[in-house]
Structure 1
């Protein structure tokens, strides 16, 4: 059975507090957003489109053969930008869209395919995403590592920056999930890759922001708050790190042979 067709959309915003001009940062001779698009093009996507907030991003993409759309500059979030992109592309409501972040030049094409396939396999889900087992106590307690707990059906139960699930009877600093009886509860790192049906993506910005979303600063909690299911693909391969800081950029440049 062939995979359902899907579109990859890559939101790209020129302003970044920690790394100004991030989408256009040079990585081994190519703007970062172009590298992301080329990586995504190795997936089974029928099209890969950058949704940009600045004409300079669109021009850089065009210079390297990447399709890009100019979206409004006042979008509150990436999902708002992608909702506009769905309209600009005239995608039907049932079309599957995968949101690949514009700062993930090492994203695995197979992971994009797996997240896209979730919505075909799980018709009850409005969204799909991915996760990977956490193996370090420091990652578990870090607020920069978002955790997700699944329910019995493999749907997201909750996302948090806090260390969840919390083992009440285990000593602090102990990687309790490495003990045999508890291994099936190993905490999961959320990977910020999402699939949606275009119709839901269009409606999502109209949903009221959730109190949990505002508290945790995690937009996906809005979907859970309003009763929408999120299917989760648990990958065995640790995801490549994205680019948030100048140090991240230098690390990726080194990996890809910059200079």
Structure 2
């Protein structure tokens, strides 16, 4: 199975234009992400998929591989689907371009899970430690069956703990691995009813009968959504990266 890591890097952002080029400890964020992803032992190729020449140029300047994609993609999945026609592979891992702390071990775990369930989309979850996150609609929750496949994703507190029994809730992490054929089928499907209600793209997969294998990890995503988040990441890095 030829596995390709794809980092979508869109220049336009309502809250943070040019975000992939923002400096973290003097280095562009996209470089931090790229260097973390290339530490994965399971990826044969890593590419940045961008819609802006400046991002492509910066990636190539630090020795990375970048390809230009259309400017009208609505989602990262759409952008990666375009990549499948330009970079040969069997399985494509979508790594968010605003997660400079992504762990290569998690990427490897996703690919290993894909080898065990080759027809499934693979994603990840982590236990919620802050109880306030359980009811926070910006923190997406996921519930899985006993074999580790997703039953549902929601912005609500699922499952609702009416019994009062001790229960662990899980946060869904926006890291995905797609078999090529499934990815290209997925992006051709119209938005589903539950997807439109929750505004969660992954529900389109569930509603159309696709399986999502969910890998558990201790990693909790630290994304950069605003310029203020840069300082938070720099503190975590300790100025050493």
TM over 0.5: yes
Instruction: Spell out the pairing of 1:78-93 with structure 2 (5 A cutoff).
Output: 78-91=76-89
Compare CA radii of gyration and give the structure with the larger one: 1
Provide the rounded CA distance (Å) in 2 between the counterparts of 1:163 and 1:247: 28
Which whole-Å CA distance do the structure 1 matches of 2:156 and 2:112 have between them? 29
Is 1:198 aligned to 2:195, yes or no? Answer: no
Matches within 5 A, 1:71-220: 71-91=69-89, 95-125=90-120, 127-170=121-164, 176-177=165-166, 183=167, 186-220=168-202
Gap runs ≥5 in structure 1: 171-175, 178-182
Match of 2:209 in 1: 227
1:239 aligns with 2:220: yes
Which of 48, 67, 71 is residue 69 of structure 1 equivalent to? 67
Aligned residues: 239
Shift of 1:97: 1.0
TM-score (norm 1): 0.88
Provide the residue aligned with 2:58 in structure 1: 60
Partner secondary structure for residue 103 of structure 1: coil
Is the 1:12–1:23 Cα contact (8 Å) retained in structure 2?
A: yes
Distance in 1 between residues matched to 2:234 and 2:99, nearest whole Å: 13
Question: For residues 116 and 56 of structure 1, what CA distance do their matches in structure 2 show?
Answer: 31
For structure 2, the residue ranges without an aligned partner over 5 or more in a row are none
The equivalent residue for 2:37 is 40
Cα deviations by residue, 1:101-127 (Å, 9 ceiling, x for unpaired): 0001000000011111211111342x0
User: Which residue of 202, 226, 236 maps to 1:255?
Assistant: 236
Deviating beyond 3 angstroms after TM superposition, the runs of 4 or more aligned structure 1 residues are none
Tell me how far apart the structure 2 counterparts of residues 124 and 48 of structure 1 sit (CA, whole Å). 22
| TM-score (norm. length: structure 2) | 0.94
Give me the whole-angstrom Cα distance separating, in 2, the residues matched to 1:124 and 1:37: 27
Structure 1 contact 51–70 (Cα < 8 Å) conserved: yes
**1:26 equivalenced with 2:7 (yes/no):** no
Distance 1:201 1:134 in 2: 28
CA shift in 2, pair 1:238/1:89, >3 Å: closer
